[in-house]
């Protein structure tokens, strides 16, 4: 009888441990689910921050490109005006330089 009582106590303890283990398992599932939701919301926040950064970079890049284009256009217009002034001031020298350049270019192409 004593061994049956011990066996009964042991069985009850095992059942109690099983219930506790199930409870721990369920709690861990809930914790993981909560952590997953938290992680998803955190990742969403990071995604939004990254998108904002990319938009910022894109707009700055566009501004930089526009400024560079504007500067290049202004410089090329200035260079064109200066070259026109030089041609007006020294027409014979300009014609001679253009002729000489054309002849040299022709010789270089003919050699190939």
The residue ranges of every structural domain in the chain are 2-80
Q: Does position 74 have pLDDT exceeding 80, yes or no?
A: yes
Average pLDDT over residues 13-27: 81
**Whose CA is closest to 79, among 103, 67, 87?**
87
Q: Are 87 and 94 in contact (CB under 8 A)?
A: yes
Rounded to whole angstroms, the Cα distance separating 43 from 14 reads 42
Rounded to whole angstroms, the Cα distance separating 3 from 1 reads 5
Q: What percent helix, strand, coil does the chain show, rounded to 5?
A: 95, 0, 5
Q: Rounded to whole angstroms, what are the CA distances from 78 to 30, 51, 65, 84, 97?
A: 71, 40, 20, 10, 21
For the full predicted model, state whether its pTM sits above 0.85.
no
Given the structure tokens 């001031």, which residue do they identify? 89
Percentage of the chain beyond pLDDT 90 is: 0
Computed over every residue of the chain, the mean pLDDT equals 79
Q: What is the pLDDT of residues 79-101, one digit of tens each?
A: 888 888 888 888 888 888 888 88
């Amino acid at each position: 009888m004593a061994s049956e009582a011990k066996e009964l106590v042991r069985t009850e303890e095992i059942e109690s441990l099983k219930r506790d283990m199930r409870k721990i398992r369920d709690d861990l599932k809930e914790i993981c689910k909560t952590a997953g939701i938290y992680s998803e919301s955190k990742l969403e926040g990071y995604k939004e921050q990254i998108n904002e950064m990319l938009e910022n970079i894109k707009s700055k890049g566009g501004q930089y490109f526009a400024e560079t284009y504007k500067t290049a256009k202004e410089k090329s217009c200035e260079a064109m005006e200066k070259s026109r002034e030089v041609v007006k001031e020294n027409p014979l020298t300009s014609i001679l330089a253009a002729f000489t350049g054309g002849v040299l270019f022709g010789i270089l192409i003919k050699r190939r």
